[in-house]
Homo-oligomer: A and B are copies of this chain.
Amino acid sequence: MGEALKGLKRTVMCGDLRESNIGNTVTAMGWVQKKRNLGGLVFVDLRDRTGLLQVVFGEEINSDAFTKADTVKSEYCIAVTGKIVKREAPNENMPTGMVELLGENIKILSESETPPIYIKENLDAGENIRLKYRYLDLRRPDMQSIFKIRHKAAKIIRDFLDEKEFLEVETPMLTKSTPEGARDYLVPSRNFNGKFYALPQSPQLFKQLLMVSGFDKYFQIVKCFRDEDLRANRQPEFTQVDMELSFVEENDIIALNEELLTRVFKEVAGVEIKTPIERMPYKIAMEKYGSDKPDLRFGMEISDLSEVVKDTEFKVFKDALENGGSVRAIKAEGCGAMGRKQIDKLGEFVKTFKAKGLAWIAVKENEIKSPIAKFLTEEQLKAIIAAVGAKTNDLVLIVADKNSVVFQALGELRLHLAKELELLKDNKEFRFVWITEFPLLSYNEEENRFQAEHHPFTMPMDEDIEYLESDPGRVRAKAYDIVLNGEELGGGSIRIHETDLQEKMFKVLGFTKESAWERFGFLLEAFKYGPPPHGGLAYGFDRMIMFLAGTENIKDVIAFPKNQNAACVMTEAPNVVDEKQLQELGISIAKEEK
């Protein structure tokens, strides 16, 4: 059993000590990073949240302390009192490297077995063991610094929004299951057996109701939940920075958030954001980058060849055009000499996005090489090369299909090539772009109906609103996403705030009037009482921290994350519960564990 503090107080943090502290008698507490017994002196690198401090114990400093210090091992938790002195052999690599602590007294607060993972930066250990011993993984300085960043970012956001007179209002966690969206986590009710709460996917409806209540400017940093199969960088519970404002239009929300982003990225990561941030309509983003979250740190834009090849008899192109699709291409600079096998691999790659194949044209010094050359006139070939601006030693990569396939295939191919060609190596840029004018609806071919692209509460653009029932697919929304380096950082919209229009929207989505009222009656009812025009935005806070901390793994920015199966390896949640608990909830287990 370790020694108790019994009134002993820590007076300093290890990482703070400098030459100005020489002569001070201090008490530091922390963990043994390393212990060496060298020539009758015991050296301990003592670690706390702020950094490392060298502590020296010796017979001549204090004999009892020396003897006790010699028994400590890595990760023992200790308290040391003594004088700060100048270090004879300074360590320039350590912020505290000019000084050391002469250990006159030591308490062993607790001992440690040999930890199953090293407590050091840049640990190369399996994810599973890191998650199982998360409390040790979090002891590592690089993990701790991420949570300092996370704390700081949340603080800056709160301070900023407070200055702007937003009120943080908490919305319920136990709420109603709503369709349209991802799968809900359900919570069985004990008072009403057979009924369930749902954990919120976002506070969307509540924040809109707060606008109806006249709260004017709301925000919340809040947990949200989605019971989806976990792709990389998704977690079942995640954190949103959520906001909503009344009496505003798109530009107001965008301007406010540019100010917010500028402050956060500057103060946390020293990144200067140039404002106003570029805006790009969805249509342009798709046409140029094949994505509604384009990575603008590199070019390789998509070119439309449809006009150039409109008279071709080449069946692949012709079919695509006749079916209302298109023929488009990207240019891989300097890849003209790429081998057949490599190009075939790119062909396989685009097939995973439903493209039927990848046509290519390699521009060589004195010739043009292409398996489709025989189907095209020389004029067409030249026109293609001109259209994409290919020069000697470039490779033109072409997909012909319906637009959705062409965009996705070339968009993904563009990103894939950028990675292969290491176009972003050492790129430190933070390239923001607002994507605007999203389609309000997208057609779900499986379910044979329109679904909300954003969510069913998004306001159509004024100039398109007349087509909402006659031609829903052409209606654009007052929606905007903020995209950073090809990732969606956040998104929002102006909302519908009138019962009639909201009902019309539900109708387009396939709701009957009854089913819309059954599910969203409280919102439709609320809009009868002078709702203000309003809109908002939500950021994925975890993703924001990933950018600020420079990690690509969402698990790194969440203290106790779940694994790919939505399980916590450390606590072993989810887990079995007592039969009595289920009885009280009036539920039973219908099938065995998968």
Kindly state whether residue A175 has any CB partner on chain B within 8 Å: yes
Q: Say yes or no: A169 contacts B192, CB within 8 Å.
A: no
A375 in the interface (beta carbon within 8 A):
no
Number of copies of this chain in the oligomer? 2
Docked CA distance A582–B225 (Å): 17
Q: Is the CB of A193 within 8 A of B594?
A: yes
User: Bound state CA distance, A318 and B407, in angstroms?
Assistant: 92
Contact B532 A109 (CB under 8 A): yes
In the complex, which residue of chain B has the Cβ closest to the Cβ of A7?
B249
The verdict on A311 contacting chain B, using a C-beta distance below 8 Å, is: no
**Closest B residue, CB atoms, query A564:** B191
Contact, CB under 8 Å: A587 / B587:
yes
Is B213 a contact partner of A138 (Cβ separation < 8 A)? yes
Contacts of A162 in B (CB 8 A): 151, 155
Q: Is the CB of A214 within 8 A of B144?
A: yes
A547 in the interface (beta carbon within 8 A)? no
Contact bitstring A47-76, B, C-beta under 8 A = 1, else 0: 111000000000000000000000000011
Contacts of A170 in B (CB 8 A): 223, 239, 558-559
A500: chain B residues within 8 A (beta carbon): 1
How large, as a class, is the contact surface on chain A?
35 or more
- The complex places the Cα of A201 from the Cα of B486 at a distance, in Å, of 39
Distance in angstroms from A447 CB to nearest chain B CB is 14
Q: Is the CB of B591 within 8 A of A589?
A: no
Q: Per-residue 0/1 for A1-35: is the Cβ within 8 Å of any B Cβ (1 yes, 0 no)? A: 11011010110000000000000000001111000
Tell me if A193 and B581 are in contact (CB < 8 A): no
A38 CB-CB contact with B under 8 Å: no
Q: Which residue of B lies closest to A208 (CB)?
A: B135
Q: How far is the CA of A262 from the CA of B420 in the complex (A)?
A: 59
Q: A5-B247, A177-B577, A593-B195 are in contact. Are A530 and B186 (CB under 8 A)?
A: no
Say if the beta carbon of A236 comes within 8 Å of chain B.
yes
State A168–B156 Cα separation when bound (angstroms): 13
A138-181 interface (Cβ within 8 A of B): 138-139, 144, 147-148, 150-151, 154-155, 158, 162, 167-177
Task: Verify if A393 is at the interface (C-beta below 8 Å from B).
Answer: no
The yes or no answer to A94 lying at the interface (CB within 8 A) is no
Known: A135-B212, A194-B593, A586-B591. A522 touches B570 (CB 8 A): yes
Is the pair A588, B588 in contact by a Cβ cutoff of 8 Å?
Answer: yes
Contact status A49-B135, CB under 8 Å: no
Q: Which of B150, B188, B191 contacts A567 (CB 8 A)?
A: B191
Instruction: Write the chain B residue with the least CB distance to A216.
Output: B49
Does A482 interact with chain B (Cβ within 8 Å)?
Answer: no
Complex: how many Å from CA A192 to CA B528? Answer: 44
CB < 8 Å: which of B77, B565, B575 contacts A530? B77
Query: Cβ of A176 and Cβ of B581 under 8 Å apart?
Result: no
Most buried by B among A187, A196, A214: A214
- 3 tightest Cβ-Cβ pairs between the two chains A and B: A138-B213, A112-B530, A176-B573
A contact residues vs B (CB 8 Å cutoff):
1-2, 4-5, 7, 9-10, 29-32, 47-49, 75-77, 79, 109-113, 115, 133-136, 138-139, 144, 147-148, 150-151, 154-155, 158, 162, 167-177, 183-199, 205-206, 209-210, 212-216, 223, 225, 227, 236-237, 239, 246-249, 252, 462, 497-498, 500-501, 522, 525-533, 558-560, 562, 565-568, 570-577, 581-594
20 additional A-B pairs beyond A5-B247, A47-B214, beta carbons within 8 Å, are A5-B533, A29-B246, A48-B214, A77-B531, A77-B532, A79-B247, A110-B498, A134-B213, A135-B526, A144-B215, A148-B167, A151-B162, A170-B223, A175-B571, A176-B572, A177-B575, A184-B581, A195-B574, A198-B577, A586-B589
